[in-house]
Amino acid sequence: MNYSDLTTVMRRLALEGGAKIMEIYEADDFDVKVKSDDSPVTAADEAADAIISAGLRAAFPDVALVTEEQADSHDVSAMTFLIVDPLDGTKEFIKRRGDFTVNIALVENGIPTRGVVYAPARNRMFYTTATGATVEEMGPFDLDTVGETKPIRVSEPNNSALMVVASKSHRDQATDDYINKYQVADSKSAGSSLKFCLVATGEADIYPRVGRTMEWDTAAGHAVLNGAGGRVVRFDDHTPLTYGKDGFANPFFIAYAPGVDLQEA
């Protein structure tokens, strides 16, 4: 895999997918369907998936591809694969709250090593460079010309005054019970994989997820956080969260800056 080419392609496809999503988001109305697992899907999910899938298959025809909207057809046994959530945070999209993202990642040997997270309604974009380090690109964004970028790095946490970020749509009592094990200075809510990015930039120290997620929900954010010096571990035993699992379902997990003194579940 040529990581420089991958970075260029992932960034461009995220922007193209994001532009299509915003076109639908800004329309007067859009249809919402319900998938077999009761999760919502919109025309924006499907249109962005078509753009991104076609672009990745053209650029990397020999690399296996997993996408949320085509998940029923996937049986990936490859050690290396691309994984896409064309619209992460569909509930945020439907409610027009802006916290939705385009997620594209590369998984190698169970680890997300490269990724891009683009939040088109927030004008924020985070991605790993060819070297694996993470940057935030400052808008406005151009398809073919990379704008100003700044390296990002996780915080050096103060364990007596932690910054916590949690899900906006899925926060529950179990999440609050776990957060209460820490000394928290402030807690914020965010949608989609933006939570990983807030830990990556140091805007938050820890993001616990006590709830269902799939690998396409987390891989790009995980890659972004890895490249900024962060970690993602299983909630139950604090071993690294890995990818390529049967059915692509994740266990509960914790994303955090390494200086956080993790508490037991």
Taking 70 as the threshold, does the pLDDT of residue 1 lie above it? Answer: yes
Is residue 130 located within the same domain as residue 24?
Answer: yes
Does 263 fall in a domain? no
Does 261 fall in a domain? no
Does 191 fall in a domain? yes
Taking 90 as the threshold, does the pLDDT of residue 37 lie above it? Answer: no
Q: Under 8 Å CB-to-CB from 61, ≥6 apart: which residues?
A: none
Q: Provide the whole-model pTM.
A: 0.93
Q: What is the largest CA-CA distance in the chain?
A: 50
Provide the annotated binding site for Mg(2+).
68, 85, 87-88, 217
Is residue 113 located within the same domain as residue 215?
Answer: no
The residue with greater pLDDT, 38 or 55, is: 55
Is residue 125 located within the same domain as residue 166?
Answer: no
Question: pLDDT tens for residues 181-213?
Answer: 999 999 998 888 999 999 999 999 999 999 999
Does 173 fall in a domain? yes
Taking 70 as the threshold, does the pLDDT of residue 135 lie above it? Answer: yes
Provide the annotated binding site.
68, 85, 87-90, 217
Last residue of a domain, one of 151, 186, 219: 151
Is residue 103 located within the same domain as residue 172?
Answer: no
Is residue 205 located within the same domain as residue 101?
Answer: no
Provide the annotated binding site for substrate.
68, 87-90, 217
- Candidates 44, 26, 263; CA nearest to 164 is 263
Is residue 35 located within the same domain as residue 102?
Answer: yes
Does 181 fall in a domain? yes
DSSP string, the chain: --HHHHHHHHHHHHHHHHHHHHHHHTSS---EEE-TTS-EEEHHHHHHHHHHHHHHHHH-TTSEEEEGGGGGG-----SEEEEEEEEE-HHHHHTT-S--EEEEEEEETTEEEEEEEEETTTTEEEEE-TTS-EEEE-SS--SSS---EEE-------TTSEEEEEESSS--HHHHHHHTTS-EEEEEEE-TTHHHHHHHTTS-SEEEE-S--BHHHHHHHHHHHHHTT-EEEETTT-PBP-SS-GGGBPPPEEEE-TTS-PPP-
* Residues of the domain holding 147: 3-151
Domain count, the chain: 2
pLDDT on residue 73: 57
Is residue 101 located within the same domain as residue 206?
Answer: no
Is residue 42 located within the same domain as residue 131?
Answer: yes
Is residue 122 located within the same domain as residue 242?
Answer: no
Last residue of a domain, one of 123, 151, 179: 151
Length, in residues, of the chain: 265
Does 132 fall in a domain? yes
Last residue of a domain, one of 151, 173, 207: 151
Is residue 9 located within the same domain as residue 114?
Answer: yes
> What is the band of 84 on the pLDDT scale with cuts at 50, 70, 90?
very high
